Structure 1
Amino acid sequence: PYAPEQTMLGRPVPPDRVRAAQVAEAAQVLRHLWSGERTTFDGEHFQLRAAHGFNRPEVPPPIVVGGWGPRMAGIAGRHADGFNTQAGHPQLTAFAEIARREHAASGRNPDDFLLTVFAGLSEPYVRADGSARAALEQKGVDRLILLTTPPYYLEEIREAGRMLAT
């Protein structure tokens, strides 16, 4: 959990290492809850006691961990199904390598690991033939998430849609 989100919710902001450990445990808790069985989990930050009643997804959604550094990339690789970070992050290639290596070390296929990035609606990312999109593909990015923030300019969004469609 990002510190600003914790603050907005009126929660204390634990140190980075504690928040990272919480993310790792949260991924494990989700898998327990999605099992469809009564489940118990005894973690440092989360506990479940014969928890049940949660719908078992036919296909569990991927757990994607967001982060800005190698520690979160490693946690994502070990405990999640994907990692999300900024498209222009200078260490994106290193993060992908860390996450996929940790994913493989956990006994899972690194090719199944999902690497996603986010960027604004800028032309280099919106154009299908843009060099920025090609560079992301070369770095192993599976999905580009385009963001816009308020105020929402509908014409800008429409233009991005037109560029993406061509």
Structure 2
Amino acid sequence: MNAELDLLVRLTDYERPQGVAERAVQAEQLGFDRLTVGETTGWNIVPPLTLAADRTDELGISNDVVSPYGRSPALLAQTALTMHDASDGRFRLGLGPSSPAITERWHGLEFDRPLRRTREAIEVIRSVYDDGNPAYEGEIFDIAGLNYEREVPESPPPIDLGTLGPKATEMAGRFGDGWTPQLFTRDGLEERLADLERGAELADETLEDLRVAPIVRGIASEDREAAREKARSTIAFMLGAYGPYYGDSVAQQGYSDVVEDVRAAWQDRDTDAMAAALPDDVLDDLAPAGTPAEVREWVEEYASLEGVDAVRIGFVNEMSEAEKETTMDAVADLV
């Protein structure tokens, strides 16, 4: 497989941040190129990622994703530069607009103008990268500026954008160094790559200048049907209960009727009906789920799409440790 292989782990799977570091060591031994974690309302990502960086030598370290509502742009820059030093330059900063629920119900802020806020946050971060100072005058942020207390590295952490829609993805191509989308079919991803390329052209760059690492959530098991039911429940829940964006995106990829049925079931909080509303063909388009051989083939085909630089493998809900091991082993054979 020409593309790289990332491993996305969930902080809720571990009792202590050190567990993430133990998984990172395992990922490096298996040949994964990068480890990444997300941040919502649980642990702060910095301690577990710092531990992961400290216990590995070559494994890339990333996050999926933090938002400019949860951290100020200057703090985002500080976080990235701290992780750069902790990982000996192996860190990539994942940034995205997040969602209304997390922004309003966790951070207590209004989810206003998310794309503009994200763009300005990137510009402030790059100001710190370039000059060691976040001084900035924009529509959202107005920062007088102070000097960063340490020397800024010559090659500061790249910024990857987690976006879904056409305008947001164009922004990722124009202002980011990489793109980490989620829940895209092969056809849907190819269509959205055109938006990413258009943004890159606005920055006088090409797709080759960006690291495209789509996230896929999957499970490999010799018990094929059990694996598929776990994946089906997870994907259906993401479409129906994770706020509007994932469902809207998949609807726009040609599955509006399916998304409508899944959302209707969620109105009754009927998770069994949500899963039942997700047909096999849609599950197969969105997630690698089945035997190890089937999952390996799915990931290999997805990675072969033109413009894809890495596939970021995440787990589905309710997986046992044995199923996680089987899934990692299955895709690691592609490295």
Give me the TM-score of the superposition, normalised by structure 1. Answer: 0.83
From 85, 93, 101, give the equivalent of 1:4.
101
Query: 1:12/1:51 Cα in 2 relative to 1: closer, same or farther (>3 Å)?
Result: same
CA distance in 2, matches of 1:24, 1:82: 14
1:103, CA displacement in angstroms?
0.8
Where do 5+ consecutive residues of structure 1 fail to align?
none
Displacement of 1:117 in angstroms is: 0.9
Aligned-pair distance for 1:4?
A: 2.4
Who is 2:212 aligned against? 115
Change in Cα spacing, 1:131 to 1:148, as seen in structure 2 (3 Å) is: closer
TM-score scaled by length of structure 2: 0.44
**Contiguous gaps of at least 5 residues in structure 2:** 1-96, 221-287
Structure exhibiting the larger radius of gyration computed from Cα positions? 2
1:61 to 157, 166, 173: 157
Aligned CA distance change for structure 1 residues 49 and 86 (closer, same or farther; 3 Å): same
| Aligned AA (1:9) | H
Partner residue in 2 for 1:148 = 315
Match of 2:178 in 1: 82
Partners of 1:41 and 1:48 within 8 A in 2: yes
Following superposition, the deviation at residue 20 of structure 1 comes to 0.8
Distance 2:149 2:315 in 1: 33
Match of 1:94 among 179, 182, 191: 191
Identity %: 20
Q: Which has the higher helix share?
A: 2
Distance in 2 of aligned mates of 1:61 and 1:157 = 29
Q: 1:158 to 1:132 in 2, by over 3 A?
A: closer
Shift of 1:152: 5.5
Greater fraction strand: 1
Partners of 2:213 and 2:309 within 8 A in 1 = yes
Q: Is the 8 A contact 1:100 1:113 kept in 2?
A: no
Alpha-carbon spacing, 1:11–1:98, altered in 2? closer, same or farther (3 Å): same
2:255 maps to 1:159: no
Number of aligned positions between the proteins = 163
Shift of 1:65: 1.1
